Structure 1
Amino acid sequence: MSKVRLIVKTHYRELIRAYRPKDEMDHQVKENMLSLLKQHGDTLLTRENPIAHMTASSVIINEERTKMLMIHHKIYDTWTWQGGHTDGEEDLLNVALKEAEEETGLKSFKVLENEEGFIRKLDILTVKAHYKRGKPITAHLHLNAAFLLEAKEEDTLLQNKDETNGIRWVPVSEIDALAKEPEITPIYHDLIRRAK
């Protein structure tokens, strides 16, 4: 399995416009995201905008589709997926792959796409106020593009000790018991179902 990157970079706004909603809620998320992009422009690609930032995340599953690779996030104190801010990068898939590698140590992923493309889900996620390296971060929104990746369970994992307290393959049936973010866990299950 090799790491896949888009050969032709697609501007993040075009990827979002091309996303095909699955239902009415999905449609509203897409429209709201496009509205925020129209209002705030490329400031959403960086953390300059105090209200919202573009992010990219991934659900990493094993080849059998029975487990999800999860990290224990230090700031949020929960088992979660991999992802992060775009920090000026327009290629959302590249951001998701970079974050997946940084947070798991894995070097090889298969990007699972469908007839609709690489982005598997769009979400507007609320982030509670918190402290990062002693600095206060006010509550804000993450305009998130989610991707679905596959990795070999036997590949060597490497914990990112700066950001996480642990990393492990979690059986799908145990995700809800470990994750403390009930607003996000349905996204995990939705993406895993789409992989089958």
Structure 2
Amino acid sequence: MDLRIKIENYLPCNCEEEKDKEIMIKYINTFDDVLTRNNEIGHFTSSCWIVNKDKTKVLMIYHNIYDSWSWTGGHADGDDDLLYVSLKEAKEETGIKNVTPLSEEIFSLEVLGVDGHMKKGKYVASHMHLNVTYLLCADENEMTHIKADENSGVKWFDLDEAVEASNEPYMKKIYGKLNKKLKDLK
């Protein structure tokens, strides 16, 4: 699995990412079906931190299920090219057409707990998202639009405002980590 190699080659930025990397590799080695939602214990997802050309702003969506401003992303749904998944989700969830990776390398790893919730009239039990994050770039002047079945807002935030806009305490920590890594690139 190409995804396993990418994760094995990823250099974690902190002890949290080191542990998450270890769990992801163990999960790949333990389960056959880690790329689809058929694995109801946990499965791979891909998210993206979409920044403007100056790397001073981030594009976020108001996520309906989490009732919070959030990064974009989605389920692998059988595809082990998680960069492709992140680009697809960025376009679908924000309406932007011109989005490019700042690097094809993984930007961040996270193992995220997902609370049970209703989606499209069906209950989805609590599970884990084995999340691979990519750093993408888009023009902040490009027209955006919401994806009504998933979000109710699309907005550019200054980096620090993006962290504060989230209603999810754990995600504030993740977004802060992404901003720190972004600033370290400059």
User: What TM-score do you get using the length of structure 2 for normalisation?
Assistant: 0.92
SS at structure 2 position matched to 1:131:
strand
Between the two proteins, the alignment pairs up a number of residues equal to 183
What is the Cα deviation at residue 189 of structure 1? 2.6
Kindly provide the amino acid, as one letter, of the partner of residue 178 in structure 2: L
Matched, 1:16 2:3: no
* Deviant stretches of 4+, over 6 Å: none
Shift in Å, 1:191: 2.1
Output aligned runs, 1:8-157, within 5 Å: 11-41=2-32, 43-113=33-103, 118-157=105-144
Unaligned stretches of 5+ in structure 2?
none
Name the CA distance, whole Å, in 2 between partners of 1:34 and 1:149: 25
TM-score by length of 1: 0.88
What percent of counterpart residues are identical? 40
Residue 147 of structure 1, CA deviation: 0.6
The AA in structure 1 aligned to 2:24 is: M
Equivalent in the alignment of 1:176: 163
Query: Distance in 1 between the 2:8 and 2:134 partners?
Result: 16
Tell me the amino acid that sits aligned with residue 185 of structure 1: K
Per mean C-alpha deviation after superposition, the further-off stretch among 172-181 and 145-154 is: 172-181
**Equivalence for 1:162:** 149
The answer on whether the counterparts of 2:45 and 2:76 sit within 8 Å (CA) in structure 1 is yes
2: CA distance, partners of 1:172 / 1:25: 21
- Distance, in Å, in 2 between the alignment partners of 1:35 and 1:150 is 32
Structure 2 counterpart of 1:7: none
Q: Is the 8 A contact 1:61 1:192 kept in 2?
A: no
Which letter maps to 1:189? G
The AA in structure 2 aligned to 1:179 is: S
Residues 129-174 of structure 1 show CA distances to partners (whole Å, capped at 9, x for unaligned) of 1110111111000000001111111111121112111111112232
Q: Equivalents in 2 of 1:110, 1:131: separation in Å?
A: 32
Q: Deviations over 1:86-126 (max 9, x none)?
A: 0000101000000001001111123122xxx6101111000
SS in 1 for 2:169: coil
Which residue identity is paired with 2:91?
A: E
Say which is worse superposed, 13-22 or 46-55, in terms of deviation: 13-22
Task: Provide the alpha-carbon RMSD of the alignment.
Answer: 1.4
Instruction: Structure 1: give runs of 5+ residues left out of the alignment.
Output: 1-9
Match of 2:176 in 1: 189
Q: 1:65, 1:192 within 8 Å by CA — same for their partners in 2?
A: no
Shift of 1:25: 2.5
Q: Is the 8 A contact 1:111 1:150 kept in 2?
A: yes
Q: Partner amino acid for 1:15?
A: K
SS of aligned partner of 1:184: helix
Distance 1:62 1:189 in 2: 17
